[in-house]
């Protein structure tokens, strides 16, 4: 029986990157949580901060495990314990270089087509706005 990693009660499997976000079945994407710590107010489905914390944590684990720039399907299968057919399918649309798939593409895909950083953790999302202003400044100078 699976046990909640917070309190030890019987647990469900939580997908850190939700299946609806493109998350797939492999150990690094799982957390084991009881119904209260899973769907309750303090769980990742209700508490956005915790949700992001889990995601940032998973992403940095992936960065630590994947130390090379490129990986072959077989290497990913062994390192991350992902079903070969699944990893093949999700990476199909990414460029396959001589040495394999690019680490950044792999992590981006496993994180559900997102790159998480401390900025998203703080909810600071006006960076795009700033760069637009910067562009229009350049244009107005009529170089
Ligand atoms: Zn619990
Ligand atoms: Zn869940």
Look at residue 132 in the predicted model and tell me its pLDDT. Answer: 43
User: Ligand 2 centroid to 97 CA: how many Å?
Assistant: 35
Give 124-141 pLDDT, tens digit per residue. 544 444 444 444 444 444
Q: List the structure tokens of 65.
A: 């495990």
User: Ligand 2 centroid to 21 CA: how many Å?
Assistant: 12
Give 6-55 pLDDT, tens digit per residue. 999 999 999 999 999 999 999 999 999 999 999 999 999 999 999 999 99
Q: List the structure tokens of 16.
A: 């850190």
User: Ligand 2 centroid to 133 CA: how many Å?
Assistant: 39
Torsion of CA 71, 106, 64, 115, to 10 degrees: 160
Size (the chain), residues: 143
Q: Which residue has the tokens 């107005």?
A: 140
Nearest CA among 4, 74, 3, 64 for reference residue 37:
4
pTM: 0.82
User: Ligand 2 centroid to 39 CA: how many Å?
Assistant: 7
Please determine, for residue 58, whether its predicted confidence score (pLDDT) is greater than 90: yes
Q: Which residue has the tokens 């350049």?
A: 138
Nearest ligand (C-alpha, residue 38): 2
Nearest ligand (C-alpha, residue 33): 1
- Cα–Cα–Cα angle for 45, 58, 95, nearest 5°? 115
User: Ligand 2 centroid to 117 CA: how many Å?
Assistant: 21
More confident residue, 65 or 119: 65
CB 18 within 8 A of CB 24: no
User: Ligand 2 centroid to 114 CA: how many Å?
Assistant: 18
CB 42 within 8 A of CB 50: yes
Q: List the structure tokens of 40.
A: 């309750």
How would residue 121 be classed by pLDDT, with cut points 50, 70 and 90? low
CB 129 within 8 A of CB 81: no
More confident residue, 129 or 113: 113
Look at residue 118 in the predicted model and tell me its pLDDT. Answer: 76
Provide Rg for the chain, Cα atoms. Answer: 19
List the beta bridge partners of residue 30: 15
Nearest ligand (C-alpha, residue 8): 1
More confident residue, 120 or 30: 30
How would residue 119 be classed by pLDDT, with cut points 50, 70 and 90? confident
User: Ligand 1 centroid to 58 CA: how many Å?
Assistant: 20
């Amino acid at each position: 029986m699976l046990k909640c990693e917070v309190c030890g009660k019987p647990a469900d499997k939580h997908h850190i990157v939700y299946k609806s976000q493109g998350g797939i079945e492999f150990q690094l994407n799982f957390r084991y949580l009881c119904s209260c710590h899973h769907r309750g107010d303090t769980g990742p489905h209700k508490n956005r901060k915790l949700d992001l914390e889990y995601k940032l944590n998973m992403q940095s684990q992936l960065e630590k495990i994947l130390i090379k720039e490129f990986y072959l399907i077989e290497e990913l299968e062994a390192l991350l314990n992902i079903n070969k057919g699944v990893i093949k399918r999700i990476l199909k649309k990414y460029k396959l270089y001589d040495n394999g798939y690019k680490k950044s593409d792999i992590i981006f895909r496993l994180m559900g087509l997102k790159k998480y950083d401390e900025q998203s953790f703080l909810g600071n999302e006006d960076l795009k706005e700033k760069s637009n202003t910067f562009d229009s400044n350049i244009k107005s100078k009529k170089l």
